[in-house]
Amino acid sequence: MSNKTLNLNETLYQYILDHSIREHPAQTALRAATDTHPYAQMQISPEQGQFMAMLVKLLGARRTIEIGVFTGYSALSVALALPDDGKLLACDISDEYTRIGKPFWEQAGVAHKIDLQLAPAQRTLDARISAGESGQYDFAFIDADKCSYDGYYESCLQLLRKGGLIAIDNTLWSGKVAAPSTSDDTTALQKFNIKLHRDERIDLSLLPISDGLTLALKR
């Protein structure tokens, strides 16, 4: 799995970074702090973070969801794009990973926008639906365990307002979705992509940014 856009050579990729990336210093520092982590490749790329921040601003989003926080770079990117009273419901099961990001959320002055829930994400989403929050969210980013994507998608679709957007990460899975599957994760992503292609509740775009980013706009 790569976190860089497929079929870009290093020279052109560096050109994109040099000519587009505008990170907050806390984002740069958080990437540096994650660089030596054994699972550093799980972090989204800076150009993807900047793109998602633009989506959040385009939507005028105030209430957002993230499923899969890791060390908090995508959460930081979304939180920086939210208004001061905006909120990100950030779902992860790992205190070990997420605690790495918290000082950088503080450094950027956005920690008050991030409500980190350490529990299986499906449980957190079910609780929000039971609490009557359906239709109240503007944006969701799904980037956790791939075999659970379908459940996360269904719950996020319920929690989003009409015109809300779900961004789903790794939907090209290093190209493995286009070949016979050799793993449960690949099979899950293949089924998920087929389902979304046919899903008339959404408008759909599967973008070849990073490892594949699917955008689903709730009709």
Interface residue with ligand SAM among 47, 138, 143, 211 (CB under 6 A) is 143
Residue 31: both structure tokens together: 């990437």
- Whose CB is nearest to Ca ion? 169
- Show the binding pattern over residues 22-61: x = contacts ligand SAM (CB under 6 A), - = does not: --------------------xxx-----------------
The reply to whether 149 sits near ligand SAM by the rule CB under 6 A is no
Q: Which helix (H) or strand (E) holds 88?
A: strand 87-92
CA distance 171 to 98: 23
Which residues, at least 6 apart from 65, have a Cβ–Cβ distance to it below 8 Å?
88, 89, 91, 125, 137, 139, 140, 141, 156, 159
Beta carbon of residue 152, minimum distance to ligand SAM (angstroms, whole number):
9
The reply to whether 139 sits near ligand SAM by the rule CB under 6 A is no
CA distance 49 to 76: 9
In the list ligand SAM, Ca ion, none, the entry touching 26 (Cβ below 5 to 8 angstroms by class) is: none
Q: Write out the DSSP string of 65-80.
A: EEE--TTSHHHHHHHH
CA distance 41 to 34: 9
Instruction: Between 107 and 122, name the residue whose CB sits nearer to Ca ion.
Output: 122
The reply to whether 73 sits near ligand SAM by the rule CB under 6 A is yes
Residues at the contact surface with ligand SAM, assessed by CB under 6 A: 42-44, 68-71, 73-74, 91-94, 97, 120-121, 143-145, 148
